[in-house]
Amino acid sequence: MEREAITEGTTTVRVAAGSANRPRGEELFRAAREPESSVASAAVGSTGIEGLEPLVAATLDGETAFFARCSTDRVRSVAAALGDGTLPTDGATAVVEHEPRVATLPTPEDGPLAVGDRVVLGGCGWRRPTSVDDYQAVRSPVAPSVDRSREATARIDEAGLRGRGRGDVAADAPVVEHWEAVAAADGDPIVVVNANEADPRAAADRLLLESDPLVALDPALAAAVALDATDIVVYVNETETLAHRRVRAAADALADELRMDVPIRIVAGPDEYKTGEPTMALEAIEGNHRIEARRGPPGPSEHGVDGRPTLVHTPRTFAQVGRVLAGEDMTGASSDPGTRLFTVAGDVDAPATVELSTGATLDAALPAVETVEGRKAACVGGVFGGLTRSLDVPASAPGLESARLGTNGVVELLGESTCMVALAGSRATFAREENCGRCVPCREGSTQLVGLLRDVYDGEFADGMLRELLRVVRETSLCEFGRDAARPVTTAMEAFETEFTAHAAGRCPAGTCNRS
Amino acid sequence: MSTDPIWENSHTEPDVPLAEDIAPGTANDPVAGASEAATLTVDGQQVATQAGATLLDACEAVSTDGEVLALCSYDDEELIGPRSECRTCMVETEEHGVVPSCSFPAEDGMSVSTDAAAASEARDVNLDLLLSDHNLLCTTCGANGRCDLQDVSIQNEVVEPRYGVMHDRSELEPLDDSSPFIQIDRNKCILCNRCVEACNDVQVEGVLRMEGSGEDTRIGFQSGAETMMDSTCVSCGHCATVCPTGALVEQGLVDATTLPIPGFTHKNSAEGIVGEDYEHQPGQMTPMKRELDTQNEPRASASTVEGDATDGTATEGEDRP
Ligand code: SF4
Ligand code: SF4
Ligand code: FES
């Protein structure tokens, strides 16, 4: 066989685009293939940096030139130049020298692609999303290396790996107890890759599934082998057709290559925020027509899909599992080893998903984006994230938690004109409208929360009552939705109390609330 | 299957739906309770519990320092609950923080405090949250005097609920007075799900379900019917028996406990009434009973999507001559 992997090529042109820029990306890909030449070409997924897309990467003998927001004419000339044996660098956004045949994107010295550590993201925008050959160029698949002994679980334990994302059964706590619970429970275990996320700010799992699904699927398969699971479900949003297709193709290719008979099913769930919560994910996978949270304990690890022991991790978590099982040195904070993905969104030109060591601080993510209008604050953790003025906060789960921020991998930048009272109100309203309706603190609590926040505009800031209600919503809600829902209002009141008192006095310091 | 000819002849189509066709709209909850017997302490007192016990069982075995209201819990029937939705049973544990006692397993060595500040606050606030969405016109309610919500409010010494009560008449849902046997007043419903479980898990009738989400969560019918009379109800009355409030009341009891003031009845306590146009029929079966249809389509779908060539990723790109 000749060159199988695109990474084997020494003369290549890649067009990288995510689902947001896919039509343009396809146009460019076609144009790149027009010149008659021996240049290998590939349409690859997003690098995570949407603002660069469509991004063309031209490679010749260990040197790559990147062209951001590339035009059709330019991609044609780039491909033609490569065909003539020269690397075009005119007008390039960055030119990087690297080892020939690298399997991960060669990162420039500066610019958005230089932000953080591209480890889990290494293949995004470089390897073809559904090619097992490309994936194998970076490491041998981990699934064939594990067996049913407790060894894989022991290594996860030793690594001290924590979960990543609200869709993970462990949220941001250590995952090993769930591996152990699944192994110990009665019934045929099943593995769920939970990528159902309707919060448009939280893009990391979608990025992995669109750009490099094998980085999550191979470890999921490894977990299935280690826990003796009979099948795997990848649970996505119904609107995410690209992720859906790529996972299907990648899973089939992986099954062919590894000849392992653990079927991988894809289930598309509703495009609603609540259905990403792990117990509601189980309900959707079971096909319930009405989705509400499930009572626990026991949780999904013992009583999951159809009552079977179920390991529920996000693609982000599985990507880290893969690193542990491949024997990589995890580095980062010892309390939360590895890296975490953060999507920088909000008042920015275009969102960017970057990878930070858990030993870094959040402000390290900022150079990945162009802000639109100054920065007053950030909401960290997604729609139910925590508000903060400072991003000098550790990127580790314990660091985020002690700053009372959320761990769902989002840094939403808020410009000067953002009113914190209005923002708190909109997040409370979201909780009121989107909750599943099962438990009183969340269902009725969010309604009262909206009312108490509205009262602020009428001159009454009942902060004691608000704090009491927020405590109860956080501590007694049945599922993670309600427990997280209190966070934006709680942290807004803490960090921006003067804005609340100003509103009660009839004034919006940001000048955006229109009282009439 | 029996080969007894008499049995064969007398047997007609069952008029109960198959269990797998029942779609109550609620989650596939695990069994609650501990897997083994345990010894734990509640407010400093030692309690021994059996396998299957919850912390509420342990609390009920002693005299607790705090009032563990546990409004939505129901102990009389195995197949019902714990729904664990009202969160008025919260207790503090040294091991797991504040937890709902009605569904939390009683584990060996646990230390439970019922009057810890966080637990009492949680019970008080959650009870008031329930009252905030409840039509508190007890004097015209058929459950007046035999209502669990009333009982726990008295037990908890509620004087003025902190979030008020539902008083705006325009917010009230109309009464469903269509059935000659059972009246539904959703303004009194605490969504404890007992009726749904009585109907589906005990009676296996498959009539009632939970529907909607958020503020629109309500008790409805699996057939999609709008009223009790249009539903497939067999009028067994089990739902009304288990209902802790005046949300489901047998017609005979609707005005049983209201004040004897002329013109002051349950029916004029809510904004509207549906189903008055039905003649009260003597038969126990609603017209829809045998036309079981269901509107319960799954919200998720398994994939049939194949990998696509237009991705340019699976086949293209590497081997051009
Ligand atoms: S916390 Fe909210 S979303 Fe979760 S069970 Fe309660 S009502 Fe449903
Ligand atoms: S109608 Fe009664 S039994 Fe049914 S959920 Fe409402 S309060 Fe509970
Ligand atoms: S009694 Fe425990 S939640 Fe209602």
| pLDDT-derived band at A208, boundaries 50, 70, 90 | very high
Range of the domain at A198: 147-325
| pLDDT-derived band at A321, boundaries 50, 70, 90 | very high
pTM: 0.92
| pLDDT-derived band at A10, boundaries 50, 70, 90 | confident
Exposed/middle/buried for residue B1 (C-beta within 10 Å: 0-12, 13-18, 19+):
exposed
Mean pLDDT of B203-214: 95
CB atoms inside a 10 Å sphere around CB A451: 15
| pLDDT-derived band at A104, boundaries 50, 70, 90 | very high
- At residue A174, the pLDDT reads 97
- At residue B170, the pLDDT reads 76
Please tell me whether residues A282 and A361 are part of one structural domain.
no
Question: Which of A415, A430, A455 is at the close of a domain?
Answer: A415
Q: Which residues of A touch B217 (CB under 8 A)?
A: 436-438, 443
Residue nearest to atom 6 of ligand 1 (CA): A439
Residue B321 has pLDDT above 60, yes or no: no
Arithmetic mean of pLDDT over chain A: 95
- At residue A73, the pLDDT reads 95
Q: Which residues of A touch B163 (CB under 8 A)?
A: 448, 451
Coil vs helix vs strand at B62: coil
Nearest CA in chain B to A246: B307
pLDDT: is B259 or B106 the higher one? B106
Residue A421 has pLDDT above 60, yes or no: yes
- At residue B307, the pLDDT reads 41
| pLDDT-derived band at A8, boundaries 50, 70, 90 | confident
Distance from CA of B82 to the nearest CA of A (A): 9
Please tell me whether residues A190 and A247 are part of one structural domain.
yes
Q: How many residues does chain A have?
A: 516
- At residue B5, the pLDDT reads 40
Name which of B97, B105, B129 is nearest A444 (Cβ-Cβ).
B129
A433 lies in a domain? yes
Please tell me whether residues A317 and A362 are part of one structural domain.
no
Residue B66 has pLDDT above 70, yes or no: yes
Mean pLDDT of A109-138: 96
Q: Helix, strand, coil proportions of chain A in percent (round to 5)?
A: 40, 15, 40
Residue nearest to atom 4 of ligand 1 (CA): A479
Please tell me whether residues A407 and A456 are part of one structural domain.
no
Residue A7 has pLDDT above 90, yes or no: no
A515 lies in a domain? no
Contact across the interface for A39 and B320, Cβ inside 8 Å: yes
Following DSSP, what letter does each residue of A174-242 receive, concatenated? BSHHHHHHHHHSSS--EEEEE-----TT--HHHHHHHH-THHHHHHHHHHHHHTT-SEEEEEEETT-HH
pLDDT: is A214 or B265 the higher one? A214
A216 lies in a domain? yes
Contact across the interface for B318 and A9, Cβ inside 8 Å: yes
Q: Which residues of A touch B215 (CB under 8 A)?
A: 432-433, 437, 443, 447
Residue A197 has pLDDT above 60, yes or no: yes
| pLDDT-derived band at B309, boundaries 50, 70, 90 | very low
- Among A54-58, A256-260, A419-423, B305-309, the least confident range: B305-309
Q: Is residue A156 within 8 Å of residue A330, measured between CB atoms? A: no
Question: Which of A415, A433, A449 is at the close of a domain?
Answer: A415
A220 lies in a domain? yes
**Interface subset of B 20-39, CB within 8 angstroms of A:** 23, 25-32
Please tell me whether residues A400 and A426 are part of one structural domain.
no
For chain A, percent of residues with pLDDT exceeding 70: 99
Residue A439 has pLDDT above 80, yes or no: yes
Residue A127 has pLDDT above 90, yes or no: yes
Q: Which residues of A touch B21 (CB under 8 A)?
A: none
Counted domains in chain A: 4
Please tell me whether residues A394 and A455 are part of one structural domain.
no
Please tell me whether residues A407 and A311 are part of one structural domain.
no
Q: Is residue A166 within 8 Å of residue A275, measured between CB atoms? A: no
Please tell me whether residues A387 and A239 are part of one structural domain.
no
- At residue B256, the pLDDT reads 65
pLDDT in tens, A358-381: 999 999 999 999 988 789 999 999
Mean pLDDT of A398-411: 97
Residue A453 has pLDDT above 50, yes or no: yes
pLDDT in tens, A280-299: 999 999 999 999 999 999 99
- Among A3-7, A276-280, A327-331, A427-431, the least confident range: A3-7
Cα A172 from Cα A222, distance rounded (Å): 21
- Ligand 1 atom with least separation from CA of A293: 5
Residue A36 has pLDDT above 80, yes or no: no
Q: Is residue A247 within 8 Å of residue A278, measured between CB atoms? A: no
Distance from CA of A211 to the nearest CA of B (A): 10
- Ligand 1 atom with least separation from CA of A477: 1
Interval between CA A288 and ligand 1 midpoint (Å): 16
Give the CATH number of the domain where residue A337 resides: 3.10.20.600
- At residue B265, the pLDDT reads 62
A174 DSSP β-pair partners: A162
Nearest CA in chain A to B97: A475
Q: Does domain B135-296 have CATH number 3.40.50.970?
A: no
Q: Is residue A439 within 8 Å of residue A485, measured between CB atoms? A: no
- At residue B277, the pLDDT reads 52
- Among A97-101, A388-392, A419-423, B278-282, the least confident range: B278-282
- At residue A374, the pLDDT reads 83
Please tell me whether residues A307 and A367 are part of one structural domain.
no
CB atoms inside a 10 Å sphere around CB B89: 29
Question: Which of A277, A301, A325 is at the close of a domain?
Answer: A325
Contact across the interface for B296 and A290, Cβ inside 8 Å: yes
Q: List chain B domain ranges.
A: 24-132, 135-296
Please tell me whether residues A225 and A354 are part of one structural domain.
no
Nearest CA in chain B to A28: B312
Give the CATH number of the domain where residue A440 resides: 1.20.1440.230
Ligand 1 close to Cβ of residue A291 (< 6 A): no
Residue nearest to atom 7 of ligand 2 (CA): B189
Residue B305 in contact with partner chain A when CB distance is under 8 A: yes
pLDDT in tens, A143-171: 999 998 899 999 999 999 999 999 999 99
The CATH number assigned to the domain with range B24-132 reads 3.10.20.740
pLDDT: is B273 or B219 the higher one? B219
For chain A, percent of residues with pLDDT exceeding 90: 93
Please tell me whether residues A266 and A343 are part of one structural domain.
no
- At residue B259, the pLDDT reads 55
Please tell me whether residues A316 and A375 are part of one structural domain.
no
